[in-house]
Every structure is written in structure tokens, then in C-alpha cells.
Structure 1
């Protein structure tokens, strides 16, 4: 095949998770249910945090932002996959593929950074409880959130600008249900040395760095918990980290599984299946993990219908 300029490529083909029509129907129903559950669960968590003044703390501030990012993360890939299954089409435009890659990388990086910031928040809360409100003040929280967005946006912009300089063959098929960055690079007909170099640097800095920071935070947390004399105090301190630790483990383990499966030969399809864990399953489970053993979240969720019942008539009266 002769390479063409990247701007001449009108569309890519997404092969999806399966080409079996009967299995596609099952996949459509399953992913539609998971997507709706993800949006509903995360929106409910955001509403609970925003409506309860007791939850206006740094921990829940970052948690509500994580829920917002998870909605965006899932919405980047799943609706297009559902649309392709519904229309019996595998096509995605070149511009659509680039846009999908940009937002996918953006929200993935935001997930990592927010989980790192939340680990730091738990470290300060447990290791320096007397100075917690002073250290985790609103200004610092705002700056940390802004830093997460800026770094994620710049990283995503850099990687996508490099992709725009690549040339692709006349027919580009991607064995995935979305435009996976690595698979798109593999389809390029031009040299991808610079892209690969930047990719590995980003993995080390924006993947390994936050992971080490999280491990360091939890090492110090566990050291502090061990020094607590009472069993009740230890249990209370550990419970404040249990949900976050579960989400971190689920996200990084599934991402590592995708990385290892993609490194194996002829494993594109298995990599696509594995990626469902951190692109769909993890964002769906996050709000349930955080609310399962959290009494404050449960109380806030129970009060959400009451708050809505009070505010809705007021809004109607104001409109009249």
C-alpha cells in the first residue's frame, strides 16, 4: 500500500470487540446498561456532595471531580461504539478519531492525577491531622485541580499534534472499539520514532511518577497507622483510605493488564477486551466503591430526593 498524507484519510475502521452479529447485540445491551449506570451513579455522587454542606471538604471536592472525569472518560468511547453497532457501521472519521484520542488521553491522565492528589489528601489527613485544614486549604485544592487539568491538556495536545504529522495507508483498520493511541501509531505508514519516544517518556513521567507518589503516600500512611495505639483508631484511619485504595488498585491493575496484553504478539483483540476494565468497568464501580462503606455519602444520598423535592417547586415558582 502507498502511504497518503494524513489529511487525505477520510475515515478509519473500528473493528470493535466482535464481528459476530448476535454477540454484537449482547454487547450493545451490556455496554448501554453499563454506560447509563456509570452516568447515573457518578451524577448522583456529584449531586450528593454538592447538596450536603458537611461534604464540602477537600476529600469530597476531589471525589466529585473524579466522578465528573469518569463520566467524560466513558463518554469518549462508549457512545461511538454503541452508535457503530446500532448502525452496523465500523467507520469513524479521521477528525473524529483524533478528537476521540485527545479526550481519551486527557481524561485518562486526569484520572491518574486526581487519584494521586487524593492519595496526598489522605496522607495529610492521617499523618498531619492537626494541620489538615491549614495545608489543604481551598486555594491549594484549586491549584492542585488546575494543575491536573493543565498538565493533562498539554500532554494530550502534544501527543495528538505529533499524530497529525503522520501519514497513513489508504485503508486503516483498528482492532478496537475506539481509537486507541498505540494501535493508531501501528497503522501509520511513516516513521513513528518521535511518537514512540514521547509516548515512553510520558508513560514514565505521567504514569510511573504518580504511581510512586501514591505508593509513597500509603507507605507513610501505614507507618502512621501502625503507631496508633487503639484498635478503633487504626480501623477508623484505615477506613478513610480503603475506598481510594480499592479504586487505585482497580485502575492501575487493569491499565497494567492492558499494557502487558498489548506487548504480546497478535493480542490486539485481547487488549481491547482487557481495556474494558479501566475504560468502562472502573468508572462504573467508582461511585459504588466510595459510597459502600461511607456513612457520610450514604446520608447525603438519602437526602438527595428531599433536597430535589424542596428545590424543584422553588424553581418553578421563580420561573412563574
Structure 2
């Protein structure tokens, strides 16, 4: 499924501005140079109402709806079809194949390539050429011999725009996917699947900007070195993986984010300032973790974790908060481990 990016959204806004520019421009051209009969005026009035209607809906989608909503995706994609229909009607009413509005065809092709890449550009090119030929036959009176070179060049330019535009967009899409893969690798811990230390540093600063209050939790696996020494590093890796899975399951994105801070240490950002539900969540997590059995059939073991937690104070910087919660974590370990110590 195509999902819009920030650059796609900006492009849609640009197309919206272009549409609003063409409405008064085409109206002035039509009224001054191409308004000959009452039937022409009626057809242009219908086109005008149709264009303003769908442009209004598109504008609403761009400004008021979420970019990942079905309404946004449908309106922006349908906009390509609407643009194509409006293009054919407009040039039919403003001089046929010699219409000054003919270059809109290039915008239709490029708009289609935005969603369907090279294939979309080629399909749009074919449709525009078919529509162009239909206009020549119905409005121009057919393919006159002295006009054949112009028609041929118009079609060639349409094909060139489709091919070049489609290739450029396809290449840009490929680079974007590759960039996303590399960025994901750079910000994700390969073993647990959680975001890594680098992501944590970025996220906590972003959360501070967005929220005055939230809860930071630092967690550490109890006696992890002993687990590696006794059962082997593969057993230790299995513990880390299971903790990553459990955090992902128990912590939806709407509630917070979990990170592998480093080694056997984890960080959790909870989007709340209420200590009670946060304490209950950590307690449930500890119970589910302790219910898991690790090791082999011959020798199994269970795992506990220690936690330090605090509500971010007003105007408290990220480094200060992390240092405070890290100290609380070590206090929890000093009190005997397998517990949560809250800051005051």
C-alpha cells in the first residue's frame, strides 16, 4: 500500500495551488477568447462547478485529515483521475489541441507517477494521448495533413515526459526505501528488535519538547553476568530477545516506547504522569517475565529485573533525568533487586 511521506504531502499541496491558479486563469481565457455559444458557457460552468467541488474536497483532505487516513489517500489518488477529466474538458472548450491549457497534460502524467511510479506514468501517458486524439477528432475536426507534425511532436513529448518522469520517480522511490532500511538498521537493536541507545537519546529529547511531564524507567536484568557465565551467551541472548518481545507486546506505541539502552539495561518512556498505572504495568511485566523459563530441558532458570523510575520534573533536562533514574535503578539493585524504586 502506498503511504504518503512528507515530501509527497508537500507535492500534493503544490498541486493544489496549481489547480487554484488554473481556475481563474482558464475562466479568464475562456470568457475572453473562447466563449462563443450559450452551450459552451453551460459546459464551462459545469466544469467550473465540478473543479471547485473536487478541489474543495481535496483541500479538506490536505488540511484537515491525517495523511495516513483512507480519506486522504483516496482523495489524493482520485485527484489524478479528476485532473485528467478536467484537462480533457478544459482543452475541448479552449481551442482543442491548440489550447493554451494543453501543458496541463504534463502535470497529469507527473502526478500519476507520484503514486504509481513508472507504470503509472506510462498508463497516464497512454490515457492522455488517447484523450488528446479524441479531442483532435471531435473538436479539431480530425487529423488534418498540415497539422500532423504538430500532433506527432505533441505525442512524442508526452511519451518523453512519461518515460523520464517515471524513471526519476521510480529511482527516487528506490533510494527512499534503501535509505529507510539503513536508517532503521542504524536505530534498531539487532538482537531485541527494540530501538537502540541512539534512538533513545533522540526520542527523550523529542518527548521533552512535546510533553511537560512523562515517566522515565531504567531497567536492568538481575545477575545477567552470572547467566552468561553459567548458561552461556546464547542463553543470555535468548533472555534479551524475550524481554524485547515482551516489551513490544505490553507497551503499545500510544502508551510509550521501549529501548535497549545498552548491554543488559533497558529504558522505557511512558506517556503519563500517573505513577499508579505505570507501577501496575511494571509489576505485570515483571510477573510475565518471571513466568518464562530459559535454559535447556536439563537445567532451567528464571529471570528478574530491577527498575528505577521517576516523573520528569518541570524544566528538567534529558541528561539530568537519565542520571536521576539511573541512580534509582542502582538503588533498586542495592536493596536486593527485583523491585521498582521511584524517585521523589
TM range (shorter): under 0.3
Larger Rg: 2
Query: Which fold has the larger relative contact order, with Cα–Cα distance below 8 Å and residues 6 or more apart in sequence?
Result: 1
Q: Which has the higher strand share?
A: 2
